[in-house]
Structure 1
């Protein structure tokens, strides 16, 4: 690896002290390194583009400074470029950011020595009425402004599977199973698995179980009518940023994306070991 790019959450590295330390370390070792800037470009077709970063296409590796939220934004920026990411955790609970601040020097040494593996992570693609988006963790469809629960219709491979009367629905990847899905009572799945999870948020029914489906499944989530005929308004959020607004009668299509996120792994620590450490 020769060309590096750094994506920084500037609220966690305000003066860019850690960012510049890594940049200078790499340059002293004969590598090229740039600091990515936010695109700040809104695109009505591609949701959340204004939250993404301008990563050079010739980058060999992207170092992400922040927490899991910063990693998710970087994943959408890097997916089309097929560039591996490695995260430095400057937040609190980080499942995606493997490197702690105290281990930066060791991590950089291992990267330059080629002592790493690259893991492919599944992503999701969602689209409706010409708008589309990608995510590494989840697509959360939640009520927009009303405090009332919403009727959701779940279609699997063009067939109506079930209905939920709930505050929302989470469509999650295995990587996202430890995020919003877990908080809503959904199952935890090994992140390199190939499947799609559907978990209702606070369902107002006895049918509150999550669904675990094949990664090749085509999913549609439709918005039903409210009891007194009033339109229901919800938003579909891609990894917590880019959104698509929906109302009664709309359906959003969700499937496994052809894009993947490449995660650079330095340690051969099992997912269960990491999970156990986070739960302590």
Structure 2
């Protein structure tokens, strides 16, 4: 574990549109007091103003000791992909909408910074999916979504697991997800919620028409091979990077364990917030269970408001 931040290099990854200036000012003020360099990739550094140095993408990943993600889960996933395979801690500060991965709000950032400087934090490892292809393997911490390149046309994919054929999918899309990504598109498509403690891979067909019509959960050590014989396939990784694979080409997905480390100050608080966010997305909870998710100082009021 990294013991603190003194004399380190702190990298910022920011939401492309949302205003993050308040958090940037908080970070640069504390960094200057503790001798910490603050860097960002050139396009980000240009809009973040003085106190933030520009560093190219390759140098960014190699030189930063900490990464702060200022945005929502999409920004956080991008930051995790940048430093995948390195021990670099990644802290999410919520300047977005959902924030399942994110523990700190902008108002909590000053206190969080002091705890980081003191080394008072834990690290939560996250696995990712590694997709073999031309050049470097592509990575996804949430999911890989496969669709036909022709709009409104089903994707048809043969499935092999550890070189043994297991039938095929024919559906609007196929979601291959990590436990972290199981609460995203996979959940919306009727797939299972997978515990972060389990190194598993989920495969969920979206609006299946034939073939395998139910979700499949695989062990993290298994190799998934998908092949579309009759059409090109479009792959989307974490809803960000998108590319096309030719008909007949193999698409091989494996899990890479402990690919990134997310900073956690209070695992129980983060877990409770995640449960609230899931309950807002129609996870069925009884009224008494919902009350348990309310902070203690507000519970009497919540009980009073129950019908």
TM-score in terms of structure 2 length? 0.78
Deviations 1:36-74 (A, max 9, x none): 3359xxxxxxxxxxxx78525232211110000001111
Q: Alignment length, in residue pairs? A: 261
Structure 1: how far apart are the matches of 2:272 and 2:173? 31
Pick the structure with more helix per residue: 2
Structure 1: how far apart are the matches of 2:64 and 2:135? 30
Structure 2: how far apart are the matches of 1:237 and 1:243? 4
Q: CA deviation at 1:239?
A: 1.4
Match of residue 253 from structure 1: 252
Q: Could you say if the C-alpha distance between residues 103 and 270 of structure 1 is closer, same or farther in structure 2, counting changes exceeding 3 Å?
A: closer
Higher relative contact order (CA 8 A, sep 6+): 1
Structure 2 unaligned blocks of 5 or more: 45-56, 281-307
| Rg larger in structure | 2
Match of residue 295 from structure 2: none
Q: Could you say if the C-alpha distance between residues 10 and 28 of structure 1 is closer, same or farther in structure 2, counting changes exceeding 3 Å?
A: farther
Match of residue 269 from structure 1: 268
Match of residue 177 from structure 1: 182
Q: CA deviation at 1:272?
A: 4.9
Structure 2: how far apart are the matches of 1:144 and 1:274? 37
Structure 2: how far apart are the matches of 1:175 and 1:272? 13
Q: Could you say if the C-alpha distance between residues 128 and 186 of structure 1 is closer, same or farther in structure 2, counting changes exceeding 3 Å?
A: same
Q: Give yes or no for the alignment of 1:62 onto 2:61.
A: no
Match of residue 8 from structure 1: 14
8 Å Cα contact 1:224/1:249 also seen in 2? yes
Match of residue 37 from structure 2: 32
Q: CA deviation at 1:82?
A: 2.6
8 Å Cα contact 1:168/1:201 also seen in 2? yes
Structure 1 unaligned blocks of 5 or more: 40-51, 226-231
Match among 162, 167, 170 for residue 157 of structure 1: 162
Tell me how large the CA RMSD over aligned residues is: 2.2
Task: Give the SS at the match of 2:137.
Answer: strand
Match of residue 194 from structure 1: 199
